[in-house]
């Protein structure tokens, strides 16, 4: 059995999701996914932690072919190196999504382009432009790409003649109608969801590339992720979505209001309290009456099929 397959089986035996295992090891979910797909190797330290967590002898995970030994010696970089016999998997995945971009699913149209004196574009009309993405794995083992797609809109900078400084405007702006896509490496789109209605707005705006942050808040094997918009100078508005086991998307919480702390974060992992671990998360909206952020707790409600606010 390959190391990645063994880690996956041991994780499932313990009843852990990729997110839960990643949190136990203080690493990213993407790192666990790469281990299980034999695209990277755990460091020596993580191998020891895995053997302790899975309650197995360390040598069960370290019986690797000679060619792998060189990659496990350097614990500082081992998780960033692809096994030479597995590079084809990464190449195939990258090539598939590159082909997807080139076939027009993620086509960027350059019409009505205005440029600065230096030749850099300050205004462009865009269509089907991917602004954010992340990879995840469905329970059946299929890898999917979550994409934040600007369906129709415009790109402009603060150098554009019609630029008006205001809340929610940035040095670079990708403004228009957005949707979320769940896409297979073959280019097949499993599902889509329009976003503007979720924010009760005709258009949304992002300042550039957004990395979608996934986390399974209720430990059901279906990760959630947030997409945010600037609500005011002091708050961010977040809509929470669940990636279902069949690849569909579901809005799983009322719009969250959070104190921005002066930061623009467009996809975040929401904070959790230890006693609510596996049941929900917290949000910290700013309360003008008392002049500070207050804690709001959300827990999973089976009957409603959503995360709902609770009294604490």
pLDDT tens digit string along 258-305? 876 666 789 999 998 888 778 899 988 877 788 788 889 999 999 999
pLDDT number for residue 35: 85
Q: Is the pLDDT of residue 118 over 70?
A: no
Mean of pLDDT over the chain: 81
In the predicted model, what is the mean pLDDT of residues 39-55? 84
Domains of the chain as residue ranges with CATH: 3-85 (1.10.260.40), 88-310 (no CATH)
What the block records as the tokens of 52 is 């302790």
Say which range, 204-218, 236-250, 275-289, has the weakest mean pLDDT. Answer: 275-289
Q: Is the pLDDT of residue 71 over 70?
A: no
C-alpha 202/C-alpha 176 separation (Å) is: 8
Q: Is the pLDDT of residue 70 over 80?
A: no
Say which range, 90-94, 202-206, 207-211, has the weakest mean pLDDT. Answer: 90-94
Of 225, 219, 283, residue with least CA distance to 252: 225
Instruction: Evaluate whether 128 touches 177 at the Cβ level (below 8 Å).
Output: no
Q: Is the pLDDT of residue 54 over 60?
A: yes
pLDDT confidence tier of residue 94, bands split at 50, 70 and 90: low
Q: Is the pLDDT of residue 116 over 90?
A: no
pLDDT number for residue 83: 42
Pairing of strands 306-310, 296-301: antiparallel
Instruction: Evaluate whether 97 touches 83 at the Cβ level (below 8 Å).
Output: no
pLDDT number for residue 157: 95
Q: Is the pLDDT of residue 79 over 60?
A: no
Instruction: Evaluate whether 99 touches 117 at the Cβ level (below 8 Å).
Output: no
Instruction: Evaluate whether 4 touches 37 at the Cβ level (below 8 Å).
Output: yes
C-alpha 28/C-alpha 18 separation (Å) is: 9
In the predicted model, what is the mean pLDDT of residues 187-212? 94
């Amino acid at each position: 059995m390959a190391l990645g397959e063994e880690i996956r089986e041991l994780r499932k035996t313990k009843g852990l999701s990729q997110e839960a295992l990643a949190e136990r090891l203080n690493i990213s979910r993407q790192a666990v996914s790469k281990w299980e797909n034999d695209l990277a190797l755990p460091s020596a330290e993580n191998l020891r932690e895995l053997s302790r967590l899975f309650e197995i002898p360390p040598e069960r995970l370290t019986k690797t072919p000679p060619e792998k030994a060189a990659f496990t010696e350097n614990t500082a970089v081992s998780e960033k190196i692809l096994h030479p016999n597995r590079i084809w998997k990464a190449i195939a995945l990258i090539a598939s999504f590159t082909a997807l971009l080139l076939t027009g699913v993620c086509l960027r149209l350059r019409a009505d382009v205005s440029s600065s004196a230096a030749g850099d574009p300050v205004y462009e009309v865009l269509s089907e432009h991917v602004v954010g993405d992340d990879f995840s794995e469905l329970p059946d083992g299929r890898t999917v790409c979550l994409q934040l797609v600007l369906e129709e809109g415009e790109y402009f900078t603060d150098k554009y003649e019609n630029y008006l400084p205001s809340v929610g405007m940035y040095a670079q702006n990708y403004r228009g109608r957005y949707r979320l896509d769940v896409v297979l490496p073959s280019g097949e789109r499993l599902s889509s969801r329009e976003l503007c209605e979720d924010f009760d707005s005709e258009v949304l705006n992002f300042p550039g590339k957004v990395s979608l942050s996934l986390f399974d808040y209720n430990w059901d094997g279906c990760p959630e992720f947030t997409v945010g918009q600037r609500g005011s100078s002091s708050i961010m508005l977040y809509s929470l979505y669940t990636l279902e086991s069949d690849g569909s998307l579901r809005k799983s919480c009322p719009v969250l209001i959070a104190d921005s702390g002066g930061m623009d974060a467009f996809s975040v992992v929401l904070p959790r309290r230890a006693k609510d671990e596996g049941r929900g998360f917290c949000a910290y909206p700013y309360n003008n009456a008392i002049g500070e952020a207050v804690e709001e707790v959300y827990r999973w409600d089976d009957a409603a099929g959503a995360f709902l606010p609770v009294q604490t």
